[in-house]
Structure 1
Amino acid sequence: MKNTFKKLFISFTVLSLTACSSTTMQDNTFAAKENKDFTKYTNQLVVEYAENDYTTMHQFFEHPEDYGIDINNVDVSLGEFYTDNTEEIKEDQKELNKFNRSTLDKTQQTIYDELKYENELSLKAENKKFQYLNNCWSTMSGLHQSLISVFSEYILRNEKDIQDLITLINDVPRYTNDVLEYTKEQADKNTLQFDYDSVTQDIQDVINNKADSSITSALYNAIDALNLDEEKTTSYKAQVKDAMDTSFFPSYQAMLDTLTSLQYNIQPLQGLSNYKNGKKYYEVLVENATSSTDSISTIKENTQSAINSSITKFQKLYKANPMISYELDSVSTDFTDVNQILESLQKNYKKDFPKVKTMKYDLKALPEDQSVSGIVAYFITPALDYSQNYQMRYNKRDYGDDPSSLTLYQTLAHEGIAGHMYQAQYNKEHLKYPIQFFYNNLGMSEGWATYMESMSLHYLDNNKDLLEAYNLNNILTNLYIVLMDISIHYDGMSLNDFKNEYGDMFSSEGLESIYNQLADNPTVFLSYYYGYLQIVDLKSTAKSRLRSKFDNADFHNALLQYGEVNFNIVKQSVNEYINKNR
């Protein structure tokens, strides 16, 4: 599972190519017992992942030594911005092919299939023709945002972690310089494209807030939480401040200076197909984003079909109540506190999902200087051996703090229950092999969490027709975003053509904003919305074939039981559930 794009140190929105290829589960023949040699092989892969990248080790393990990881072999750094992993991937595939698939048990076969197609897609992404098409300065997950996320949420578990943290902060200039050198090369090749005004303003804000940085404050709080003696605490805080002042904030000034100098080399926001090899690059991104081997034409057909179906359903509701469209803006919940939302979801999810242990969590609003427009909230991926409360953050600055907001309710369902937090707890209780926690199929994980947004509406006491209309309105918007992304990046649609194509559904001003966001962040929303569509299509198939024998909890278990795998494996699992219960 190689991150085959240039490594942007992004904890929560990292774009890593671990998606699907043409490989599918081959047959239903599997060994009755675990193949211990294969288990040893996958466990060694986990050790290699951790020992080759400090940030991976720190994020995924509280006690790495329990997994055979030697922390003395790990270089404390932010890693390399870009390395060519082609030969390493080929070697990994050669080692994997040494195993006879039929000697593996059922779960191990899904691991085998997952590793195989990840390697295949990674090799596609390593194509040097794509080398200068990556956007390191996207508004949602660029370097300037990533570093804030990483250090503001950095986990300190012991005194050694503080020392490593200081080393990482002091490594920011090196890493930033590598990204800036790449940016200059993009400028020379006329492939540098990003939202200049927005990015430079965000960078300037970090510099302006240096004296009152919430990032530094968060690190101080993390040091305090370790309860070291006063002398050590004071000393470490001074070292962190020095690292921030001499390494972190000067790196942001370097970003600003370099990007300002390149201002007139930046290309206008436009689709990837406008660049040489951009169309092929987009195809690889789509595979990654959707966790699916569906072709782009198939994605368009499936999405348009779902749009037509949703419109028909909405029209039926409108016919019964012509005022329903005007009532959508007024729909809300009865919650008076954000924590009440998660308490309610924790109580109600058991009606439809496999029961897990009670989830303990900390929900906090983001400080203003850490809030990113376009990101409503996020869940912090826990370590495999995580022993503390789960952590969630929400953007209070841009999306308000109204506990009765239906948008906030659905957001916490997405990030919390039965979305990402629930899935993390389910994985902790059900997954057997450490390697299964390293999958990163965004189409499955984000599709699942988006699916939970719709499911959560069933637990409210509002008028059911109104909630259904609200849900359909959201679904239609989301599905149009899928088509819009393809229109921009694959069909090469200009802003004017884009407005003409979608002007009947959205305002002209809104369309320009949508165009710019999608042009700046190709495929980022496909994980959510086409991932969602694949799940609801599987559910529709299961319901039609099982009828009265269909059970929500059993269906959801079939979706989740092998971890965040690609949809080829998910479909096989759902088919097995259907055939078992017919």
Structure 2
Amino acid sequence: QLPADPAAGPFFEPFRRLPPAMAEAERAALQAQGREAIEREVVPAMRRLRDFVAGEYRAKAPADGSLTHYADGARVYEMLVRQRTTTDLGADAIHAIGLRELDKDRAEMERVMRSTGFSGDFAAFVKWLNTDPRFFVASADELLMRYRAIAKRFDAEMPRLFAELPRGTYGVRGMPEHMGPDAAEFYEGGAVDGSRPGWFNANLVGWRQQPVWGMQTLVAHEAVPGHHLQGARALELDELPEFRREGGGYTAYVEGWALYAETLMREIGAYDDPYSLFGHLQWQAFRAARLVVDTGIHAKGWSRQQAIDFMVERTGVDRAFVEAEVDRYTSDPGQALGYMVGRLKIDELRARAQARLGPKFDLRRFHNALIDHGELPLSTLETLVDEWIVREARR
């Protein structure tokens, strides 16, 4: 954010995207004014912020950010757990759920590993997947084309999974370069009035470190049937108030849906080789490990190193990435719990609907029952699904 030349940084980016039809003199004048304002106002403010964070703030920060070391920290964490998961689950129960799910995912990952004929152990397999040239693209352009091809293929599967689909479209593009090679892919929602599409933002700067076997589950999570499909559908629910359509900040619902979306694509055979299936399972295991580590840090006295070592050994995810993730869980207690808790609640509701409706159960209609209310607390979603089951039984 603070390059030597302010015109090379992100704050100048809008001035590089002025309308093509703008007169050259007007363009040059606006760019000069923008650069001058950034140099005069933005850069000094950003430097002051950086100096404060790196200096006074860091010096006073505790070495261990666990809530167990703060006054009333245990009670605060239990409150955050309920808030972030929108359930009545406690830290101990979530910790146990994480261990259970992680054991299941790890066992399946090892089964998939053996199906490839690989003769080494789990750590050696993960190292091979992350170093062998066959699992990497030759350029940023190739990575972008592969993401777009996966998205297009997934689009064609959506009518068999949903009774009604959103009209809003999405595209696949590279994220801003200043975000760096380690930034995670993310989804950016479209405009409420339909004038702007949604976007799956791929990290093209980091193309050398993105294995192809992890791409399919990423598209399922961020685009369809994950964040884009759910978010675009919500925007079109005109009968809902605007705050419901644009998102209410319920991580357990939004991320739980996206995690469920990944598993849904597995059901229909979208992960069509053992390596992409392994990639899917690794990310599921990583979300399960979050339940263990977040509660371990803030409720069970785990050290930072203990949390990092546990996640690396159990999931095989890169250590540098895990280190950053553990710091995220430490600084934002409970946020990482919503993903797997949300997915498991959706699994539970689906099993309930299938058991009660029997031959009347329609998966396409069930999926619309899940996404046709905007973002919700999981407890409210459960009530709405129970009501939907009653209506479906009468059809």
CA–CA distance in structure 1, aligned partners of residues 308 and 227 of structure 2: 35
- How many residue pairs get matched? 373
Identical aligned pairs, as a percentage? 18
Cα offset, 1:322, TM superposition:
7.4
C-alpha spacing 1:391/1:508, structure 2 compared with 1 (3 Å): closer
Q: Partners in 1 of 2:312 and 2:150 — Cα distance?
A: 36
User: Cα gap change, 1:378/1:208 in structure 2, threshold over 3 Å: closer, same or farther?
Assistant: same
- Indicate the residue corresponding to 1:296 in structure 2: 91
Q: 1:551 — aligned with what? A: 362
Deviation of 1:504 (Å): 5.9
**Alignment partner of 1:405 is 2:212:** yes
Does residue 538 of the first structure (1) align with residue 332 of the second (2)? no
- State whether residues 444 and 527 of structure 1, in contact with CA within 8 Å, keep that contact through their aligned partners in structure 2: yes
1:257 equivalent in structure 2: 51
SS where residue 42 of structure 2 aligns?
A: helix
What are the residue-to-residue correspondences of 1:551-570 with 2, within 5 Å? 551-570=362-381
- Pairing 1:165-184 to 2, within 5 Å after superposition: none
CA RMSD of aligned residues (A): 3.6
Which of these residues, 329, 336, 344, is aligned with residue 153 of structure 2? 344
1:354 to 144, 151, 163: 163
Please tell me the residue identity of whatever aligns with 1:409.
Answer: Q
Contact persistence 1:289–1:524 (CA under 8 A): yes
Counterpart of 1:417, as a letter, is V
The AA in structure 2 aligned to 1:462 is D
Q: Report what 2:140 is aligned to.
A: none
Distance 1:341 1:500 in 2: 33
Aligned ranges for residues 253-402 of structure 1 at < 5 Å?
253-262=47-56, 263-310=58-105, 323=118, 326=125, 329=129, 337-371=146-180, 373=182, 375-398=183-206, 400=208
In the alignment, the residues of structure 1 paired with residue 368 and residue 111 of structure 2 have an alpha-carbon distance, to the nearest angstrom, of 33
Mapped contact 2:68–2:298 kept (Cα < 8 A): yes
Q: Distance in 2 between matches of 1:321 and 1:228?
A: 57
Alpha-carbon distance, 1:312 to partner: 6.2
Is 1:491 the counterpart of 2:295? The answer is no
Determine the C-alpha separation between the residues in 1 that align with 2:219 and 2:234: 19
Does 2:41 align with 1:247? yes
1:420-499 correspondence runs (5 A): 420-433=227-240, 434-437=242-245, 438-457=247-266, 458-460=268-270, 462-463=272-273, 470-495=279-304, 498=307
Tell me whether 313-322 or 357-366 shows the greater mean CA deviation. 313-322
Separation in structure 2 between the aligned mates of residue 499 and residue 435 of structure 1, nearest angstrom? 37
Distance 1:559 1:504, change over 3 A: same
Tell me if the contact between 2:80 and 2:334 (Cα under 8 Å) persists in the aligned partners. Answer: yes
- Specify the code of the residue in structure 2 equivalent to 1:268: A
User: Secondary structure at 2:367's aligned position in 1?
Assistant: helix
Structure 1 residues 577 and 409, CA gap change in structure 2 (3 angstroms): same
SS state at 2:18 partner: helix
Partner SS, residue 199 of structure 2? strand
TM-aligned CA distance change 1:388 to 1:314, over 3 Å: closer
Distance 1:461 1:485 in 2: 29
Report the CA distance shift for 1:497/1:215 in structure 2 as closer, same or farther (over 3 A): closer
- How far does residue 301 in structure 1 lie from its aligned partner after superposition? 3.8
Q: What is the Cα deviation at residue 280 of structure 1? A: 3.1
- Which runs of no fewer than 5 residues in structure 2 stay unpaired? 138-142
Paired AA for residue 248 in structure 1: V
Q: Deviations over 1:519-557 (max 9, x none)?
A: 234333223232222222222333343344332211111
Deviation at 1:321, TM superposition (A): 7.9
Partner of 1:233: 27
In structure 2, distance between residues paired with 1:509 and 1:427: 35
TM-score after normalising by structure 2: 0.79
Matched AA of 1:556: H
> Using the alignment, how far apart are the partners of 1:528 and 1:390 within structure 2?
21
Contact 2:97 2:291 in 1 (8 A): no
Query: How many angstroms apart in 2 are the aligned matches of 1:439 and 1:297?
Result: 27
Change (3 A) 1:481 1:422: same
1:578 matched to 2:373:
no
For residues 421 and 501 of structure 1, the distance between their equivalents in structure 2, rounded to whole angstroms, comes to: 32
